[in-house]
Amino acid sequence: MTFKFQNYNPVVSIATGSNISDNSPVLEADRCSLEEHFPGVELIPRQGSCAVVGNSGILNNSSCGDFIDSHDFVIRANMGLIKGYEVDVGRTSDLNAFNRATLLKYGHAIRAAKKSVERDRFLEHVRTLKESILWYPKSLTKLGGIHRSSVNYRSVINETRKNGLSGIRFAFNWKPIRVEKAWGLRRIATLGLDMYAVARTFCANINLFGFYPFYKDLEGRDIKYHYFDDVKFNYSLNRAHSWDLEHRKLKELERQGKLTLIVRDCKPRKQIPV
């Protein structure tokens, strides 16, 4: 996959003699070429359709893999497993976002003196991503020192390169994504919401998979927190995110035609003989 500049001309503030004063911090805007001012920066081209894939157990037995892979661009979360789950979650991964907890887990495992299961699991998974982009949307800096996330992220990059995985590219933000105010959230936004917010900037049509913060599906069947493990999770006790509020806002956007939440099976389930 090759990302090229799409005639992108960001607005950049330029200080000129006519607008510099002690009283006004406002600068006139001039148009510039991103390629000229930031050589080496790549942009994701405009995409017709994007699949944003969360990790909810709603994906188990959904047979949504082919549908997910049919999109022009696929965004995944937190290194969710692909191998062994292709029928339900597909194979394609163009961009893989991860949160601070995932970065901390793998960063510590990589820097540990002894090899660990988590380190091996990280490398095995990254090998399946081929030419994907690994993206950390939160802050890598802090005032007055080096943020530990920056150290962990550097460890992830170095380990990937050391193992010959040259097809993997890395992306990070100059400033962390903060969508809470715009969305009216009282708590930290989930990684899934960050992924959707970014997808809106280059995707014409967006389908969300694995976005389902509930214990039972629409047919009343029990579902797991993650499709790839048996981790127990209590949404009401976890106060870091506004699960219900985020879901309601996504449902409202769906009613407005701005996205589609895929919360049912993509193909009929095979009936198991009694």
pLDDT of res. 151: 87
pLDDT of res. 63: 98
Residue 241 designated active-site = yes
Q: Does residue 143 contact residue 153 with C-beta atoms inside 8 Å? A: no
What pTM does this model have?
0.82
Task: Determine which one of 71, 226, 241, 247 is catalytic.
Answer: 241
- The model's pLDDT over 217-268, given as tens digits with 9 standing for 90+, comes to 999 999 999 999 998 888 777 777 888 889 999 999 999 999 999 999 999 9
The helix (run of H) or strand (run of E) holding residue 108 is helix 100-111
pLDDT of res. 182: 85
pLDDT of res. 140: 76
Kindly report the average pLDDT of the chain as a whole number: 84
pLDDT of res. 35: 65
pLDDT of res. 206: 98
Percent of the chain with pLDDT over 90: 50
For residue 101, the Cα-to-chain-centroid distance in whole angstroms is: 14
Beta-carbon contacts of residue 143 (< 8 Å; ≥ 6 apart): none
Point out which residues pair with 31 in neighbouring strands. 11
pLDDT of res. 217: 95
- The model's pLDDT over 34-76, given as tens digits with 9 standing for 90+, comes to 666 667 777 889 999 999 999 999 999 999 999 999 999 999 9
SS3 28: strand
Residue 194 has pLDDT above 50, yes or no: yes
The helix (run of H) or strand (run of E) holding residue 30 is strand 28-31
